[in-house]
Each structure stands twice: as structure tokens, then as C-alpha cells.
Amino acid sequence: MTQAQSTQDQNSAESATNKSTAPNLFSPLTIKSITLRNRIGVSPMCQYHSVDGFAEDWHLVHLGSRAVGGAGLVCVEASAVEPRGRICPDDLGIYKDEHITMLKKITGFIEQHGAVPAIQIAHAGRKGSTKNPWRGGNRHQKQDVPDSEGGYDIVAPSAVAFNEGSRVPHELTIDEIKEIQLKFRDAAIRAQKAGFKWLEIHGAHGYLIHSFYSPLANFRKDEYGGSFENRIRFFVEVVDQVRAVWPQDLPLAARFSTTDWVEGGWTVDDSVKLAKILKEHGVDLIDCSSGNIRSGDRYQMGPGYQVPLAQKVRAEANIATAAVGMITEPHQANEIIASGKADMVLLAREFMRDAYWPYHAAQALAGELGVEPKTVLPPNYTYAI
């Protein structure tokens, strides 16, 4: 054997080893004591199908079918930490102990079928008390629900309405800020009692937390407004309240609007700084979304358009990230993981179209990854396929 052949064989062996050990879409992901069976997550998707915040059979079937379909993580939709924190009167909530019973039934089913149950706790802030989008509401132009039809008072860092169709929020006092932070803490306690093993704090999309840290919605002059350090204070203190009661061995994630996409707004560099700080306060993963701080702002969207945001935060803040937004194709999703742009991908609309997306992705990637598609599904199905 020539030296050139020997070198070529060695390089081929190293390439094969690297390919087999490099993470891919179907590699397990371990954070704290939790291991996901793959890097595919069901992103929180508002269903607007609750009365007084209670989960229903709809949520059991909606979320349970995605666990059966092979997702590694199944995240319950934005769940309000208090009634006025709901986006609309039909939102899910986790603001009373009575909510726990049905949520526990859902988490049990999700775990039974191999996925990790997660929940996103949230407060809508100035985007609350709006019309249900599948009952005539407009997702982009928030329309106020009158009190006579179930509407309610809303709150924000500043008394500035989201748009002309929404009501003017009450500007929170310092004492009221502290009260809401305690409601996030109480929601985290309920989440654990309900059997969730992964918790995400919703700090994106123009809702309460985002409206504190973005200079486009926060016009306060006290310790919660003005400088970067002041504007992120609310978020950091919420994390501290939650981390104090959420088990240390369970993952805590935070969703950012990683950029406002608007000059003078929040930037991805700001998100890197915030991610470093929240990591020090016990956050394990950043769910990298973007935008929606103001009505009428428009920006370019396309397949995987938010992936570079997750990549930058991951690389520069040295923290795990999830990529989300117009991720639909198996090879696209796998490339995000294999190239180190994010640690996992979260899908929403694509999961609405196909509850068995992980199984179909395994079929598409079987040749190059060596994954056996049948292993993605429960035995109830695999014997017949």
C-alpha cells in the first residue's frame, strides 16, 4: 500500500467517524436530566380553545398526536399566568390550581409515547383582550374585545396601545410589576405539579416581557426603563423567580424576539448580551424567534429566515438554541442541526399540516443518516407498516 493510499484510507475513516458522531436531526439531545429522543420539537401553538384557561380534550388530542407522531419535545401553547395575561378570552391558562388536573392528563399521555412534555408560560401584556383569530379576529391588527363580550383590562410597561384597534393598557407600577413576577413563579410551580419536564418563559412577539426590553414599547423613566440594563430587568427578575422554584435538574428555556427588525429597536447583538446574562441566571436554552413588537412593522420572511439568529446567539453567547420559523423540509431541518446552527428545531404550522412529520422526515433521511423510520412511531403502528 502506498503512503497516498494509506492517507486516503485514514481520511475516509475519519470522515466516516465524524459523520457517525456528528449530531443530526435524529440524535438525542440531553439538557440537565432530560434527554430528547431527537432534535425535533413541537413549537407552542395557540389554539384559542379554552374557557377560563382550562385545557380540554382538544388539547389532549392536538398535543398527544404529535407525541405519537415522533416529536422529541411537545410544548403546550402560551399559557397565561393570570387572566388578564391571556391574548384573547379563549386562551389557555395556568393561573389557578384547578388547571392542573387536565394538564397532568396531557403530560402523562405525551410521556407515555416517548416525548418530553413542555409548557410555555406567558403574559400577553398590551396585546391582551383581543379577538380570537379563528372567530373573526385579525392576527396582525389586534381588535379589542369589549367588556360586555368577555374583554378585560390589560397592562404594559407604558400606557401605549399596540394599535388603533386595541385598548390602551394600564402602566404598571413597581408593586404591580413584582406581583406579576410572582405569578410567573406560581405558574412554574403549577407546571411542575402538572408533570411538565421542560419549561419555557415567553419573552417574544410583543407580549409583556418583550415590551419591557424593547425600546419601541418601553418609555418608562424608572429602573425598568431607559438603559439596556433597566429594560431587561423585568425579564431577568422573572427568570430568577421561576428558577428559584423550578427544579434545578430540569431545563429552563426562554423565547426571545431576537430582533425587532426595525431601526432603533432591539437587535440580535442585544439578544446575545441578554442570553449571556440569562445563562448566568439559570436559563439553559434560547428559543430564537423575532419581531412583532409593533403593529404595521414588516420584514422579509422566507424558509429558515430566523436560523441565522439562533446561530449567532448559540455561537456568541455559548448557549443552546432552538431554531424556529418556516422550517418545513427534512433536509433543511437536518442541515440546521448538522452544521451547528442550532441544537434543535421547532416546527408549528408544518406540524399542523402533518402530525407525523418526524416519521416522514425519517423516511426522507433514512439513507444518509441510517435512521430506521419505524422506530419513530409507537409499536401500536409499527407492526402494521
Catalytically annotated residues = 207
CB contact at 8 A, 258 and 309: yes
Say how far apart CA 286 and CA 343 lie, in whole Å.
10
CB contact at 8 A, 45 and 346: no
Residue 271's Cβ-count burial label (10 Å; 0-12, 13-18, 19+) is buried
Say how far apart CA 344 and CA 311 lie, in whole Å.
11
Assign 282 to helix, strand or coil: coil
In degrees and rounded to multiples of 5, residue 100 shows phi and psi of: -65, -40
Closest CA to 292 of 277, 306, 311, 274: 306
Local structure of residue 93 (DSSP, 8 states) = B
Assign 123 to helix, strand or coil: coil
In degrees and rounded to multiples of 5, residue 20 shows phi and psi of: -75, -25
Closest CA to 127 of 101, 180, 77, 163: 163
User: Radius of gyration over alpha carbons of the chain, in Å?
Assistant: 21
Per the DSSP assignment, residues forming a β-bridge with 201 are: 121, 254
User: Which run of H or E residues covers position 334?
Assistant: helix 330-338
